[in-house]
Each structure stands twice: as C-alpha cells, then as structure tokens.
Amino acid sequence: DAGVTQSPTHLIKTRGQQVTLRCSPKSGHDTVSWYQQALGQGPQFIFQYYEEEERQRGNFPDRFSGHQFPNYSSELNVNALLLGDSALYLCASSTGQVPEAFFGQGTRLTVV
Amino acid sequence: QQQVKQSPQSLIVQKGGIPIINCAYENTAFDYFPWYQQFPGKGPALLIAIRPDVSEKKEGRFTISFNKSAKQFSLHIMDSQPGDSATYFCAAAENYGGATNKLIFGTGTLLAVQP
C-alpha cells in the first residue's frame, strides 16, 4: 500500500503565478482533504472533496480551488500567488467508514 | 470556539522520561480527538485517537487521557526515546455521519528527548 502520495515535493513559484498540486489517496479511501501548514504552525483546513464535490471549506479565499477525479485523486489549485501562500500543503485521505485521516508527505511551496 | 489550545510549546525530557502534552477545547460538538506526530520535512502521522466515551486509551508507549467535563485531553509518552523527538499535534473534529470532518489542529509541541 503506497499510502497517500503527493506531487511535486517541492515547488518554487513567482508572485502572481498559478500552481497545481496533486494528491493520490490511500487505497480504499474516497475522501480527500487539503491543509495548509505555515512554518511552526499546525495545519489549517482548506477544503474537503467527496464524490467529486467540495463538501466543506475552511476560511480560505476563492483563489484556492480544487477538484476530485473519478479515481478519487485530487488537485489543489492556487491562483494569483502571494508571498504569504508559501507553506507546506498537505493532503489527507479518509473513508466514510472510519474517522482516521492519513496525511501525505506534503508539497513545500515557496512563492518568491 | 473552533480553537484547540495546546501546551507547552516545547518540551525537553531525558531518555526514559514521560513527557505530557496538554490540549483544551471549547466546542462540545467535537467527538473525535487524534494525536499526530510530525518529523521535519514530513507529513503528520496518526499516532492514537480517542472518542469522548472513554477516559483513557493506550497504544504501545502512547496514552491519551480524556476529561470530558473539563474539555481537556493529554498525550503521555512512556519510556520516551530519542527517536520520539518530533513535533506533536493534537486535533479535534466533529465526526458526523461516520465521515471525517475537518480536523482543527493545536499549535504543536516540539519535543526533544535527550540521550
């Protein structure tokens, strides 16, 4: 079992650009959540996808959007990047059967 | 009301000691309380979790104590080892309908276990 996989592991973008991050959930999981973790902070919930629909959303602007595909993988898109978007972006997968959520290794995004 | 307050911010113990990390919450709708361990450059790894219908749960060297009336829970690490040195996060969620709701994380505790 490969667990939750995210790509890329590191990314450097210029302010104003757009970025797409990808996540493959753990085998058997159908729900994907995205979190932003700033340096020295706890992860902050961005949104959650289930059955290809955004089910919940945290306090993040519309510049943050996502998508879930029929195979349950997911993308996080961030438009008009700001310096403050620099963070570790984490994907967590889960299933409706049990509450446990498992995280990937994250994508370190640096905006310059 | 959605916050989870975690303390201490950092902790140093000797090998074999029992570090204790505390968390407190306000939202009485929270009904799932996991702890995660995170090493530098890695994603958080689920350690142990508890529901409010029990007061204590043990898994290996890790124990969660839960006080529903005080709205507090804590992590104890028995016989701590240098390999336990990491950042620990408590979290809380409303686990409605069996689906995982969003996790609200504490601010983290940086633990250092000295040899």
Report the residue of B4, B100, B109 to disrupt the A interface, i.e. the one with the largest count of A CBs within 10 Å. Answer: B100
- List pLDDT tens digits, range B50-96: 998 999 999 999 999 999 999 999 999 999 999 999 999 999 998 75
- Record the tokens describing residue B60, joined without a space: 């290996």
Does position B98 have pLDDT exceeding 90, yes or no? no
Strand B10-14 to strand B109-114: parallel, antiparallel, or no bridges (unpaired)?
A: parallel
B102 touches chain A (CB under 8 A): yes
Domain span at residue B47 reads 4-114
User: In whole angstroms, what is the distance from residue A64 CA to residue A80 CA?
Assistant: 9
Is there a contact between B43 and A45 if contact means CB atoms under 8 Å apart?
no
Is there a contact between B32 and A103 if contact means CB atoms under 8 Å apart?
no
pLDDT at res. B99 = 61
User: How many other CB atoms are found less than 10 A from the CB of residue B24?
Assistant: 17
> Which of B90, B96, B46, B35 is CA-nearest to residue A96?
B96
CATH number of the domain that residue B94 is part of: 2.60.40.10
User: In whole angstroms, what is the distance from residue A13 CA to residue B33 CA?
Assistant: 36
Chain A residues with CB inside 8 Å of B41's CB?
Answer: 105, 108
Residue of A31, A42, A106 lying closest to B100 (CB–CB): A31
Shortest distance between the Cα of B100 and any Cα of chain A, in A, equals 5
- List pLDDT tens digits, range A11-64: 999 999 999 999 999 999 999 999 999 999 999 999 999 999 998 899 999 999
Chain B residues with CB inside 8 Å of A95's CB?
Answer: 100
Q: Which residue matches tokens 């898109």?
A: A77
Shortest distance between the Cα of A52 and any Cα of chain B, in A, equals 15
Does position B23 have pLDDT exceeding 90, yes or no? yes
**Average confidence score pLDDT of chain B:** 93
Shortest distance between the Cα of B99 and any Cα of chain A, in A, equals 4
> Which of B30, B47, B27, B3 is CA-nearest to residue B93?
B30
Q: Are A45 and B102 in contact (CB under 8 A)?
A: yes
List b or e across B50-81, with b for residues whose CB sees 16 or more CB atoms inside 10 angstroms.
beeeeeebeeeebbbbbeeeebebbbbbeebe
Which domains are delineated in chain A? 5-111 (2.60.40.10)
pLDDT at res. A95 = 86
Q: How confident is the model at residue B97 (pLDDT cuts 50, 70, 90)?
A: low
Number of domains into which chain B is organized: 1
Is there a contact between A103 and B45 if contact means CB atoms under 8 Å apart?
yes
- List pLDDT tens digits, range A67-110: 999 999 999 999 999 999 999 999 999 987 778 899 999 999 99
